[in-house]
Structure 1
Amino acid sequence: MLIKKICIIGGTGFVGRTLANHLTRKGYQLRIPTRDRESHRQELILLPTTELVEGDVHDPQQLRELVDGCDAVINLVGILNERGRDGRGFHKAHVELTETILATCRAAGIQRYLHMSALNADAERGPSHYLKSKGEAEHKALAAEGYDLHVTSFRPSVIFGPDDSFFNRFAKLLKLTPLVFPLACPEARFAPVYVEDVAEAFVRSLNDPATYGQGYDLCGPHEYTLQQLVEYTAQCVGLQRRILPLNNFLSRLQAMVFDFVPGKPFSTDNYLSSQVASVCTNGGDLQRFDIDATAIEAIVPRYLGNHSMRSLYNEFRREAGRH
């Protein structure tokens, strides 16, 4: 199977931008759909061999036009929260979109599909709408494996890197909270995996027939409790904060209150997801791709140490863009 051109759905996001850089360095031509081309021009338009195209990937006809001429499709779309609380937003973003993409791949004669799932994704036993919908989407993707479409799925733990929504979000929240920081689900466990390692796993699987029909767990080299990660974040940004661990009742109560806060910094669905440890058995599958997992200690201090300066710079860019 000769792959020259790839459509990355969700390519304007945190992982997508990193993966686009990896693929362009390998010489692949990329097409990245977006609903707002102008808002992503500075991040992606300068990448060689990359085409940023406006379109709605949820519309079957538009998606068919977006993948036309491509040899492979990568689906990175995922949401951590929905506007409502009944799971319909998760189902649309994860399950319905995956169904549309798989049908479009077959109609367009595309034979390679890479799918971003999540650690603990399980359609039957997932404790949250997020994990259930991710599990259902992954099941549908892997079930589509066959002679006319070859599928590989990836299940990462929380992904970290300079533009992540994990360490950066906690850094912002810590700055907004004086002296004491109340932390829900402090004993939740994670094995954070570096975004560059995740992107490289995608790249190395692309032309590897041994990965067809397979799903891979991706984790970093160490496990941490959420409290340890938040304490480390405070250390990296130079803040002295007392982390106040909340018990299960108060954690769930905080989640219920935050369900109604704009932007949902924490939600009941997040709380339910955190009840399952986001860690890999036997360290995960990065070694399958000859990738040495990168520790947070090697990367996180570099970008959190400059967090204030980057925040000011990003705010300046936003203000400049308005004029």
Structure 2
Amino acid sequence: MRKKIVVTGGTGFIGSRLVHRLAAQGEDVHALVRASSDLASLAECRDKITLAYGDVTDPSSLFSAIEGADEVYHCAGITYMGDRKNPLLQRINVDGTQNVLDACRRAKVRRVVHVSSITAVGISGPNRKFDEESRWNFDMIDLEYARTKHAAEKIVAAEVKKGLDVVIVVPAFVFGAGDINFNAGRIIKDVYKRKMPFYPTGGICVVDVEIVVDCLIAAMKKGRTGERYIVGGDNVSFKELAQTIMRVTGVHQRSFPLPIWGAHVISFVLGFSRFSKERHKISKLFNMTMFTVASKFLYFDSSKAQRELGMRYEPFEKSIRRTFEWYRERRMLN
């Protein structure tokens, strides 16, 4: 008899790629979705999976979806860089994690893999790489998303102490085929459409979604209970990232470094109505919260995942190229 596997956040970027992989392997996959969920990301494997209707913010809906499961991947979450959705971030990322783990304990699930975020690890600075033991310092920036992902990891730690078997996987900045909502892929689209006349002065750790999926499955099989594993790849400046995307796409635009004080000036100017027409010429990624984060360095060491999960490495340009070609084949860059 096949084991039952539940994936929360099954329509999201990482969750949907995980569902595809597990379905291709012949597993009994149950994707947790809401009645209002857009199922486009699951279209190619819809006939191989079971849809489990529920909502991580509604505890009463979770037990029936999780009951009988051997393994649960908790991928559900909301990523939002701003302060207009603070209550929703709390309900989904924090309360939702508690609700899922409560249901897993009640259902006697054998093991859970929790998907976290590098914002729950911290800000490294330009000349060092953070690892799983680094002290969290993201509270130097007023970013509710980071706070909620950090709080969710604390909930996991508390549940592990109570006896629940949970492993934490911490993906870096994730590119890849299947990013239909343009998460990291927004940068590719905006460079391609020449909407990146400047770039932030920080840097980021990048990884392909298929490597993340590899590590999620490996964490379920052999990750150590209560441990966290950073899954990243190359640590690159945003200048290097933008230049690589230009090289891959063949589209070039003069682009300049923009320090945080300059970003404040531009944000102020764009706030005037007579400059409103200029907004469409600049990436939607340009908001002060996101730019503040991107002006920092989020560089990470993934050697623990390499040692214990067998994480593979590939140059980040391969992921950029794969993502771009996936978008172009589907005419999603117009």
For the aligned pair, the TM-score class normalised by the smaller chain equals 0.7 to 0.9
Q: Residue 194 of structure 2 contacts residue 252 of structure 2 at CA under 8 Å; is this kept in 1?
A: no
Q: Kindly tell me: are residues 7 and 307 of structure 1, through their superposed partners in 2, closer, same or farther at Cα, counting changes over 3 Å?
A: closer
Q: Which residue of 2 aligns with 1:248?
A: 260
CA apart distance, 1:89: 2.6
Q: What SS does structure 2 have at the residue aligned with 1:141? A: helix
Q: Which residue of 1 aligns with 2:43?
A: 42
Q: Kindly tell me: are residues 296 and 242 of structure 1, through their superposed partners in 2, closer, same or farther at Cα, counting changes over 3 Å?
A: same
Find the aligned partners of 1:28 and 1:108 in 2 and give their Cα distance: 19
Instruction: Give yes or no for the alignment of 1:227 onto 2:244.
Output: no
1:93-172 maps to which residues of 2 (within 5 A)? 93-121=92-120, 125-126=137-138, 127=141, 128-146=143-161, 148-164=163-179, 165-166=182-183, 168-172=185-189
Q: Residue 32 of structure 1 contacts residue 52 of structure 1 at CA under 8 Å; is this kept in 2?
A: yes
1:160-309 maps to which residues of 2 (within 5 A)? 160-164=175-179, 165-166=182-183, 168-177=185-194, 181-185=196-200, 187-208=201-222, 211-220=224-233, 222-252=234-264, 265-281=285-301, 283=303, 285-305=305-325, 307-309=327-329
Q: State the one-letter code of the partner of 2:259.
A: N
Q: Residue 115 of structure 2 contacts residue 170 of structure 2 at CA under 8 Å; is this kept in 1?
A: yes
Q: Residue 86 of structure 2 contacts residue 144 of structure 2 at CA under 8 Å; is this kept in 1?
A: yes
Q: Residue 229 of structure 2 contacts residue 302 of structure 2 at CA under 8 Å; is this kept in 1?
A: no
Superimposed CA distance per residue, residues 4-48 of structure 1 (whole angstroms, 9 cap, x where no aligned partner): 1111101111111221233234443111121246633524313x3
Q: What SS does structure 2 have at the residue aligned with 1:192? A: strand
Q: Residue 11 of structure 2 contacts residue 37 of structure 2 at CA under 8 Å; is this kept in 1?
A: no
Instruction: Give yes or no for the alignment of 1:68 onto 2:81.
Output: no
Q: State the one-letter code of the partner of 1:247.
A: P
CA apart distance, 1:276: 4.0
Q: Residue 8 of structure 1 contacts residue 32 of structure 1 at CA under 8 Å; is this kept in 2?
A: yes
| Identity, % of aligned positions | 22
* Structural RMSD (CA): 3.1
Report how many residues are paired.
305
Find the aligned partners of 2:97 and 2:265 in 1 and give their Cα distance: 33
Find the aligned partners of 1:254 and 1:91 in 2 and give their Cα distance: 31
Unaligned residue ranges in structure 2 (runs of 5+):
123-135
Q: Kindly tell me: are residues 52 and 86 of structure 1, through their superposed partners in 2, closer, same or farther at Cα, counting changes over 3 Å?
A: closer
Find the aligned partners of 2:310 and 2:265 in 1 and give their Cα distance: 43
Find the aligned partners of 2:92 and 2:100 in 1 and give their Cα distance: 11
Q: Kindly tell me: are residues 255 and 145 of structure 1, through their superposed partners in 2, closer, same or farther at Cα, counting changes over 3 Å?
A: farther
Q: Residue 174 of structure 2 contacts residue 184 of structure 2 at CA under 8 Å; is this kept in 1?
A: no
Q: Which residue of 1 aligns with 2:125?
A: none
Find the aligned partners of 1:158 and 1:3 in 2 and give their Cα distance: 33
Q: Residue 94 of structure 2 contacts residue 151 of structure 2 at CA under 8 Å; is this kept in 1?
A: yes
Superimposed CA distance per residue, residues 213-269 of structure 1 (whole angstroms, 9 cap, x where no aligned partner): 10011111x2210121112112211112111221211234556869x9999634333
CA apart distance, 1:135: 0.7
Find the aligned partners of 1:282 and 1:42 in 2 and give their Cα distance: 32
Find the aligned partners of 2:24 and 2:328 in 1 and give their Cα distance: 31
Q: Residue 105 of structure 2 contacts residue 164 of structure 2 at CA under 8 Å; is this kept in 1?
A: yes
Q: What SS does structure 2 have at the residue aligned with 1:293? A: coil
After the TM superposition, list the runs of 4 or more consecutive aligned residues in structure 1 that deviate by more than 6 angstroms. 255-258, 260-263
Q: Residue 5 of structure 1 contacts residue 29 of structure 1 at CA under 8 Å; is this kept in 2?
A: yes
